[in-house]
Amino acid sequence: MTISRRTLLQGATAAAATFFVQPRLSASEAGRFVNPLKIPPLLESTAGPVGKTFELSVAAGRSEFLPGLSTPTLGMNGTYLGPTIRCRAGDRITLRVKNALAERTALHWHGLHIPARFDGGPHQVVEPGAVWEPSFEIKQKASLCWYHSHLMGRTGEQILRGLAGLFMIV
């Protein structure tokens, strides 16, 4: 059986009209997604003789996205996502990353102009219980970047479970 182009277009038009004409409830009107949007906190640094140090502790947690439904998550300095790191162009920073997970991880500073040895790609694994301390100078203009898990073969899973955060250069 073949379908003519005209029949196909008529059917697609009817389907689209049905879809767009039906009244739709927003998620909040339907009673779903009633939790307020959680804004990750700003991470405070400690000042040292060679710049600012930011402490990140990667750990497992549980989060409630829907009332009464607990979900296993991953986070940094909390149960889900990571805090926002804010610094200025020209700052010398150290990121002290402690892996409190029972599994390996890696953190990648996405969008930063830094040497590869501090980039946190899949070749820079942080074993359970270990600490990784990349240190570098911020050599770029104001921008909004992000950081995330970059463990080979597990990047997507670890990010979806919460290993990501914002990196703001002001």
Summarize pLDDT for 72-113 with one digit per residue, the tens. 999 999 999 999 999 999 999 999 999 999 999 999 999 999
Please report the pLDDT score of residue 121 as a whole number.
86
Mean pLDDT of the chain: 88
- Summarize pLDDT for 116-155 with one digit per residue, the tens: 999 988 889 999 999 999 999 999 999 999 999 999 999 9
The yes-or-no verdict on residue 59 having pLDDT over 90 is yes
Please report the pLDDT score of residue 79 as a whole number.
96
Please report the pLDDT score of residue 9 as a whole number.
67
C-alpha–C-alpha distance, residues 159 and 106, integer Å: 11
Please report the pLDDT score of residue 5 as a whole number.
75
Q: Where are the domains of the chain?
A: 32-169
pLDDT bracket for residue 26 (50, 70, 90): low
- CA dihedral (53, 148, 65, 168) in degrees, to 10, reads 50
C-alpha–C-alpha distance, residues 79 and 160, integer Å: 13
Please report the pLDDT score of residue 90 as a whole number.
95
Taking the model in full, what pTM does it have? Answer: 0.78
CATH architecture of the domain with residue range 32-169: Sandwich (2.60)
